[in-house]
Amino acid sequence: MATLGGLERSVMSLLWDGAESLSANEVRDRLGEDLAVTTVLTVLSRLERKDMVRRERSTRPHRYTAVASREEHTVEMLNEVLGTAGDREAVLARFIGGIPDSEAAALRRLLQK
Amino acid sequence: MATLGGLERSVMSLLWDGAESLSANEVRDRLGEDLAVTTVLTVLSRLERKDMVRRERSTRPHRYTAVASREEHTVEMLNEVLGTAGDREAVLARFIGGIPDSEAAALRRLLQK
DNA sequence: ACGTGATTACTACATCGTGTAGAAATCACG
DNA sequence: CGTGATTTCTACACGATGTAGTAATCACGT
Residues B62 and B81 in one domain: no
**Residues of the domain holding A17:** 6-66
Burial class (CB in 10 A: 0-12, 13-18, 19+), A49: exposed
The Cα of A90 is separated from the nearest Cα of chain B by a number of Å equal to: 7
Residues B56 and B96 in one domain: no
Please say whether the beta carbons of A35 and A28 come within 8 A.
yes
Residues A16 and A60 in one domain: yes
Residues B16 and B33 in one domain: yes
Residues A100 and A57 in one domain: no
* ipTM of the complex in this document: 0.89
Give me the residues near strand C, CB below 7 A: A 3-9, 33-36, 38-39, 42-43, 46, 50, 60; B 23-25, 37-38, 41-42, 45, 57, 60-62
Residues B60 and B106 in one domain: no
Any domain includes B97: yes
Any domain includes A1: no
How many angstroms separate the Cα of B82 from the Cα of each of A110, B105, B110?
18, 22, 20
Residues A60 and A81 in one domain: no
CATH of the domain at A35: 1.10.10.10
Backbone φ/ψ region at A53: left (φ over 0), alpha (ψ -120 to 50), beta: beta
> What is the structure's pLDDT at A113?
63
From the list A78, A84, A91, the residue facing B95 with the nearest CB is A78
Any domain includes B26: yes
Q: Going residue by residue through chain B (113 aa), what tens digit of pLDDT does each one get?
A: 678 999 999 999 999 999 889 999 999 999 999 999 999 999 999 999 999 999 999 999 999 999 999 999 999 999 999 988 888 999 999 999 999 999 999 999 999 86
The phi, psi pair for A35, rounded to 5°, reads: -105, 155
Instruction: Provide mean pLDDT across the span A90-95.
Output: 94
> What is the structure's pLDDT at B84?
85
Any domain includes A76: yes
Residues B13 and B48 in one domain: yes
How many angstroms separate the Cα of A96 from the Cα of each of A89, B2, B95?
11, 21, 13
Which amino acid, one-letter code, is at B21?
S
Residues B28 and B58 in one domain: yes
Return the DSSP state at B58.
S
Q: Which of B61, B52, B51 is nearest to B26 (CA)?
A: B61
Any domain includes B1: no
- CA angle B99–B79–A87, rounded 5-degree value: 50
| Coil, strand or helix at B65 | strand
> Which chain A residues have any C-beta within 8 angstroms of a chain B C-beta?
3, 9, 16, 70-72, 74-75, 77-79, 81-82, 84-96, 98, 103-104, 106-108, 110-111
Q: What is the total count of domains within chain A? A: 2
